[in-house]
Structure 1
Amino acid sequence: MNQRDEFVEEMKARLDEWNKEIDELIAKARQASDEARVKYHEDIERLKQRRAETQQRLDELQHSSEAAWETVRQGMEDSWELMRKAFQDASSRFK
């Protein structure tokens, strides 16, 4: 397995983890008061949007040429960092 394939597999595993954690947040939001549920829903929608953007970057990375993969990889890492921050922000409000 080459470096790109390893990176793609790592990112897929991370996305799977985020998907599970988003599902957990959705379950917590269902138990919240009506007012809090609205705020949680907004956070969850932002997370879903970031997740979709990150998935798109991953798809680009998988289909990039060897010459372009480092550039696409950097974009993926940037997208991942935005996703991580969005999740941290949302998680802190769910506590």
Structure 2
Amino acid sequence: MQHVKSLLAFALLGTTFVTGCGGTPTEDDCNEYADHMVGLTLEEAKKQLTPTGDASIDSAAEAAMKTEADKAHPEFKKLCTDEGTKAEVECALKSKSIEQMEKDCS
């Protein structure tokens, strides 16, 4: 689970918003953003545990990873409400990976 915690820290650092224009995201926007970030973080953790894609993760390990990822939801939401703009949140929500989000939304 240390691996998932490291990914969560990486994801939080990688999603630090640049203050700028674009309007303020709503509470619903920030909930959706936090849900999306938890999902992206979980997918990234799975990829790193099975880099070749030919191994499966047992259900107990997957459940533990989801529990750890879910713990970051409040932090992602706070980051969104405190620092995010509507445009940044919309960009992040379109991203299919953390890497894509960092590239397209920075």
Q: In proportion to residue count, which structure has more helix? A: 1
Return the index of the structure with the highest Cα Rg.
1
When normalised by structure 1's length, the TM-score is 0.36
Q: TM-score, normalised by structure 2?
A: 0.33
Structure scoring higher RCO (CA < 8 A, sep ≥ 6) equals: 2
